[in-house]
Amino acid sequence: MAHKRLPRVVYEFLDGAAEDEMTLAANRSAFDAYTFRPRHAVSMAQCDLRTTVLGSEVSFPVLLAPVGCTRVMHHEGEIGIARAAGAAGTIYILPTASGHLLEDVMAAASGPLWYQLYLIGGREAAEAVLARAENVGFSALVVTIDTPVAGMRERDFRNGLKELASRNPLAKIPFLPQLLAHPGWLVNFFLDGGAPTLPNIIIPGRGPVPLLDVGASLARSAVTWNDFSWIRQVWHGPIIVKGVLTGDDARRAVDHGAVAVVVSNHGGRQLDSVPASLEVLPEVVEAVGSQIEVLMDGGIRRGTDVVKAICLGARAVLIGRAYAYGLSAAGTAGVARALEILRADVERTLRLLGCPSVAALDGSYLNPKHSQ
Ligand SMILES: Cc1cc2nc3c(=O)[nH]c(=O)nc-3n(C[C@H](O)[C@H](O)[C@H](O)COP(=O)(O)O)c2cc1C
């Protein structure tokens, strides 16, 4: 439905990934390397899907990853996502590239919200936004470390995303046919204000960052391990490091004060040809799993994917595109539907496996990995 509802340039921004999209494909096919070892003829009245993540109870082990620019996909954007996540009893991680004010997102939320940090606008802008996030009750900070520059998303390049977002009105003319072919999206986009900014990132003396400046500002303000002592001074809650793909980086994250890591390759949107998240999950669990919680994302589309990741040691998984497709299709209701589908999938999978709860999942429910 998202494919039908969105102009191509917007849909492919969501759906696409970096360069040859090898990591994007690997994120999916990695799940095929594992098969289940079910325990049949086990009777279960109910399966318990609950777990805790950093002490917060979630109704099932699926969190909503930070996905930037969702207000362009659907005008309800981050507010709709926060509503649906809270109603489903799980956590939403609000991206730095949010199109809605973080205070408004918090006001709409009924569950815990975490804040994802990029240093767009430098330390001064970040300090201001972190103080606001802490003040309104964001309960954890997710620092993304895999984005020193934006990856080369060739579909965006070919579609002319940069030209569409530019300030030159003439550059938008070639897009008219695809925009006019999606009148529902177009009307809502203009009723919503038309020219997206990142309202939470205020550059002193210059105001909010326009969406089209994000790439350039990212390249000027990459996060490094040296930033963590400053981050710990300005953020007093738990810190999670997102974008870990090796045991070494996971250990570094622990050394710099992380209480959890997200094994992630950014949904294949950054460095192409890095391994699938699921592939490196066991290495990271082996390195730091006894000290901190390990989360993972990348390629989760079905309940069986969620269950396999948990069997391999993830505390919970994050989904990105899976809920963003839902948002694009039907706003808040679409995100709710995507979560419902996944929840029903996880429950059915546990029953078919003969496993009473998410807490009881472990490697004994999987056959050893076979080469593809
Ligand atoms: C359109 C889009 C925008 C994203 N924006 C961000 C972002 O601003 N910050 C971030 O840490 N990750 C971002 N991600 C990565 C997601 O947090 C997550 O790692 C990824 O989507 C997981 O893969 P999946 O889409 O296969 O579930 C984005 C992903 C997509 C698809």
Which ligand 1 atom sits closest to the C-alpha of 264? 19
Whole-number pLDDT of residue 172: 86
Count of other CB atoms within 10 angstroms of residue 247: 16
**Residue whose CB lies within 8 A of the most ligand 1 atoms, among 12, 29, 67, for a mutation test:** 67
Closest residue by CA, ligand 1 atom 15:
266
* Strand duo 140-144 + 207-210: pairing: unpaired
Q: Tell me if residue 236 is catalytic.
A: no
Q: Measured from the CB, is residue 14 less than 6 Å from ligand 1?
A: yes
> Is residue 38 exposed (0-12), middle (13-18) or buried (19+ Cβ within 10 Å)?
middle
Mean pLDDT, the chain, rounded, equals 95
- The answer to whether the beta carbons of residues 240 and 139 sit under 8 Å apart is no
Token representation of residue 181: 């072919």
Instruction: Quickly state the pLDDT bin for 168 (edges 50, 70, 90).
Output: confident
Residue 195 has pLDDT above 90, yes or no: no
Check pocket membership of 66 for ligand 1, CB cut-off 6 A. yes
Q: Which of 74, 100, 182, 266 is catalytic?
A: 266
Q: What is the mean pLDDT of residues 273-279?
A: 98
Query: How confident is residue 371, by pLDDT bands cut at 50, 70 and 90?
Result: low
pLDDT tens digits, 61-118: 999 999 999 999 999 999 999 999 999 999 999 999 999 999 999 999 999 999 999 9
Kindly give the distance from the C-alpha atom of residue 268 to the centroid of ligand 1, in angstroms, as a whole number: 9
Q: Check whether 205 has a pLDDT greater than 70.
A: yes
Q: Does residue 256 or residue 216 have the better pLDDT?
A: 256
CB of residue 244 inside a 6 A radius of ligand 1: no
Residue 266 beta carbon below 6 angstroms from any ligand 1 atom:
yes
pTM score = 0.98
Of residues 211 and 177, the one with the higher pLDDT is 177
Strand ranges inside 145-257, DSSP E:
197-203, 207-210, 239-244
32 contact partners, CB below 8 Å, separation of at least 6: 372
- pLDDT score recorded for residue 372: 58
| Contacts with 109 (C-beta within 8 Å, 6 or more apart), sequence order | 82, 83, 85, 86, 92
Q: E strand or H helix at 102, and its extent?
A: helix 102-108
* Residue 45, pLDDT score: 83
Q: Minimum mean pLDDT among 88-97, 131-140, 154-163, 216-225: which range?
A: 216-225
270 CB under 6 A from ligand 1? no
- The tens digit of pLDDT for each residue in 278-327 reads 999 999 999 999 999 999 999 999 999 999 999 999 999 999 999 999 99
Pick the residue whose CA is nearest to atom 1 on ligand 1: 14
Residues pairing with 296 in the sheet: 263, 317
Ligand 1 test: best mutation among 266, 281, 317, most atoms within 8 Å of CB? 266
Share of the chain residues as helix, strand and coil, in percent rounded to the nearest 5: 50, 15, 35
Q: Ligand 1 centre from 162 Cα, in Å? A: 19
